[in-house]
Amino acid sequence: RMLCFLKFPPNRKKTSEEIFEHLQNIVERLPLEFVKQLCLKIQSERPESFCDKDLDTLSGFAMYLPNLTRLQTYHFAEHRPILCIEINPKCGFIPFSSDVAHEMKHRVCHYYMHQHLKVASGKWKKISKYCPLNLCLGNKQHSLLQEMQNNLRIFKNGELIYGCGDAQSPAADLKDLNHHLQSFCFPSNGLASGPQCTRAVIQDSSEKGRVGTLRPRLRGPCVCEASPFSRSLNHQGKNTSEHSGLLKGCLLCKTLQVQMLDLMDIEGLYPLYNCVERYLEEFPEERKTLQIYGPYDEVFYQKLLDLSTEGDGTVAFTLTKVQQYRVAITAMVCSIMIALSPCLQDASFDQRPMSWLAFSVSVLGRDLKHYKSIPHQHELDNDVVRPTWFKECEACTLDLHKV
């Protein structure tokens, strides 16, 4: 099992109310000295983006969480290998809101634009060819395996065997990954070795949870013009949407549907957020009534079903759009974890063939993004868009250049 600690901005006094707000699901209180020593030990291993907050070392409370790199729903023998694939899909659609003022946001996905900012800041050494739109629409040419960055990690028996966190991480080796995955490829499939082994296992994991035959209905453009796959189809005179294979009911489909609660983009949403803030400054007692910080119950989620974008001037409508955005960006940064293990005949209740895999699927990072994070999202959007402009070159490819 894993321990999860509360985190707070540095040098900020933690009030008893703040601690109590997070303690509803706390199951363990630890010795304070143990907590302090543990925090010191892991500090150097924390990603840089997480270091803007300090771990809570004063309350001693922590949550026990399941180890999602293990199977969660099946009994299995410990000697059998367990593979876990963690995918961070990112935003899988092009903004369709009329509030978007930057024309490039209607043509290129947010991930691709953000890549230029990360390369400029030294986060990554080169721009990834991975396109979230291709993955979330079911196109197999999404380049996730070859251009993973921090969007793909693979674990074997709980240990990381493929993936990296930043530009300083060692380069992942597909040959080493292929060696690790041989125990998941069966002779009956003719895939016991070679590069097909890796692709077969990754492809099999992406199929888990698929039911139905329809894709989600997207509004607006569903093609990223910066995607190599989209450009190749355009050269062939084919429609990208015709080559989408995401099935209705699968987890990626549901994730995409939640992401699309971002009905107005941050450009249209930020003025509404400011309206709510002015109202709350005048009537601070309304924070609890309006469920700004919860509880996130059935009443809260019923309000999210209002997909209208034409406001009626009420605070309730304005706040609903803000809360929908919070849910949407939560889905844009969550991770999907698929654990797999060979299902042998002697342990199978229905005498399945050896090539079957037992699996469990989990979603990580479902904590609703904080209400006060919206100004940060607005600043990030400005940073991503401001220093770039489009130039369409002779090869019909899109390049982003610094101004």
Model pLDDT for residues 271-298, shown as the tens digit of each residue: 999 999 999 999 999 988 898 888 888 9
Q: The tokens 């290998």 sit on which residue?
A: 81
pTM over 0.75: yes
What is the overall mean pLDDT for the chain? 75
Residue 63 pLDDT more than 70? yes
Average pLDDT over residues 24-28: 60
What does the DSSP assignment read for 327-338?
A: HHHHHHH-EEEE
* Rounded Cα–Cα distance for residues 380 and 254 (Å): 26
Average pLDDT over residues 35-46: 84
Backbone angles phi, psi at 87, to 5 degrees: -120, 130
Least confident among 29-33, 67-71, 138-142, 359-363: 138-142
Residue 345 pLDDT more than 80? no
Four-point Cα dihedral 187, 188, 189, 193, nearest 10: 10
Q: What is the DSSP letter of 176?
A: H
Sign of CA dihedral 234, 239, 241, 247: negative
* Rounded Cα–Cα distance for residues 216 and 248 (Å): 6
Strands, E assignment, 1-133 = 2-4, 7-8, 28-29, 54-55, 61-65, 83-87
Query: Which H or E run includes 399?
Result: strand 398-402
Is residue 387 very low, low, confident or very high in pLDDT (cuts 50, 70, 90)? low
Most confident of 14-28, 86-100, 227-241: 86-100
Residue 191 pLDDT more than 50? no
Is residue 182 very low, low, confident or very high in pLDDT (cuts 50, 70, 90)? confident
Q: Given this model, what pLDDT does residue 14 score? A: 61
* Rounded Cα–Cα distance for residues 280 and 54 (Å): 28
**Cα 301 to Cα 24, 57, 286, 324, distances in angstroms:** 20, 33, 19, 9
More reliable by pLDDT, 35 or 187: 35
* Rounded Cα–Cα distance for residues 39 and 126 (Å): 33
